[in-house]
Structure 1
């Protein structure tokens, strides 16, 4: 249980810091160089989407690490692409449920969903400010 919490904490800190950096520092830098509200807003939206995809990749790595240390498994056979798909649907809080983790990997999924909800809200706020 300790190892799963450590993986979750490190993943959470990395993802939050990275996403906030992307939607503030990088988005502000890029949009500051552009003219027009439309192009500035579009740049912020693209950066936010790319950042969310990056976070899904980072959480995919967290699941892979959990699998390596036998902290749980997926109830269905899952390739790395399947795990990325699961991560993407979890971080966007869509949660289609076509595959699902068991054991301590469920902790990662719960934290990923909460993190995704919060960070999508941060991205939406940033886009609204640019609009």
Structure 2
């Protein structure tokens, strides 16, 4: 249980820091180099989407760490790509449920979903301000 909390908290903190850096520092640097409004908006959308995909990859690694520490598993045998797919659907809060974590990995999935909801809201705010 403690290991799951440490993995979840660490992944949460790293993900939030990376995403906020991407949609503020990276996006602002890109915006300074672009002149047209519609290109600026596309750039911010691209940066936000790329950042979300990166975060899904970070959470995928966290699931694999949890698997290696025997903190849980997935109800069906899951490859790296299956877990990445699960992570993408979880961080976007879509949650299709085709792959389901068990044990303490469920905690990580809950943290990922809450993180994704918050960070998608931050991304939407940045896109709105850019428009």
TM-score in terms of structure 1 length: 0.99
Q: Which residue of the partner structure matches residue 79 of structure 1?
A: 79
Aligned mates of 2:3, 2:124 — CA distance in 1: 33
SS of the residue corresponding to residue 9 of structure 2 reads helix
Q: What are the within-5 Å matches in structure 2 for residues 41-60 of structure 1?
A: 41-60=41-60
Q: CA RMSD in A?
A: 0.3
Q: Which residue of the partner structure matches residue 117 of structure 2?
A: 117
Aligned mates of 1:19, 1:58 — CA distance in 2: 11
Q: Which residue of the partner structure matches residue 25 of structure 1?
A: 25
Q: Which residue of the partner structure matches residue 68 of structure 1?
A: 68
Aligned mates of 2:21, 2:99 — CA distance in 1: 31
Q: How many residues align?
A: 131
* C-alpha deviation, 1:32, in angstroms: 1.1
Aligned residues of 1:72 and 1:102 also touching (Cα < 8 A): yes
Which segments of structure 1 move beyond 6 Å, counting only runs of 4 or more?
none
Structure 1: any 5+ residue segments left out of the alignment? none
Aligned residues of 1:32 and 1:40 also touching (Cα < 8 A): no
Structure 2: any 5+ residue segments left out of the alignment? none
* C-alpha deviation, 1:130, in angstroms: 0.3
